[in-house]
Structure 1
Amino acid sequence: MNIIITILLVITGSIGLLLIIALFLKKEHYVKREIIIHAPRQQVFDFLKLLKNQDKFNKWAKADPNRNWEYEGTDGTAGFIISWSGNKKAGKGEKEIIKITEGKRIETQIRFIKPMEAVADVIMETEAVSEYQTKVALINSGTLKYPMNLFIQLLEKNFPKDMDESLAALKELLEKDEQQNKHT
């Protein structure tokens, strides 16, 4: 009986300690990753502004190839919403184009419903490095309410790797398309 009480006290104390720690942790996260793509800026931008294209390179969109997709509005314009529902890894949520600055910036908001409720802003920026090179920046930022802010350090540790993987897939996809366009 004493062992059970001790175990319960340790669990309760650990949870209490984590909740106290969460009071003092930051609530905002911000991760920015960049890559150079050997393709003209407008070509890269025109591809990125279509949310339906993002499942071709985005690691998180590939989490469940059998997820259900729903679309509302005109892709590539402010107000377009792509919703999904999938397995435990994919969860349930929606992504909306909030604002487009033609040729430069696509601002979106992701609203997760499952496995936990959260909102994040995802921005993709394009900048011409040369006539045939484009720097793409992928920015993920948002706020996690208490006590979910305990996970911010984990997010900021894992997001760069996942974002780099998505950007590398984007680079491969667009550079392959650019090579095919040069040969036709």
Structure 2
Amino acid sequence: MSFPFASWKRTVRAAADAVPAFLLAAMFVSFIIQVVMRYVVDSPVGWTVEVCVIAWLWIVLWGQSVSTSEDEEIRFDIIYGSVRPAVRRWFRVVFSAALVAIYGIALPANWDFVTFMKIQETSYLDLPFSWVFSVLIIFMVVSILRYLVIFWQSVRGREPGDDALSDRDLAG
């Protein structure tokens, strides 16, 4: 009965991967509009810069937390790659627990910051900064969940290449 779960997971993954692609396209179109307005029409517009900055912020934080899988991350892992698999497993246990703790401790302060920023809006688009920075909360929550899964898998002796959310993990 893993077929519906696999199909659902592929659909969610495709949707999550589409967000940075859409934002990158929006950045590109905004950049082209800015170039045309500045150098062809001789009437620069400011909203294009705002779109590019907001899109870049969302691409980086959304991409790192939601779209990038564990095996796609770039790491400096000379020490990690040179030790035995059992030591690597304990590295994953320790570092995933540390990251969950750090993100968990920082989450309330970041939540306060994001909700406080509703009082100010962006200059051109008049978007509340709480909307702009809401991706920070998404990043932190998804990162906490990701590293909890890595912690759980490592404690159970599974490798990071194993399926992050298999039917066995969901069943208990």
Same fold (TM over 0.5): no
Q: TM-score, normalised by structure 1?
A: 0.24
Between 1 and 2, higher relative CO (CA 8 Å, sep ≥ 6) is seen in 1
More helix by share: 2
Q: Which has the higher strand share?
A: 1
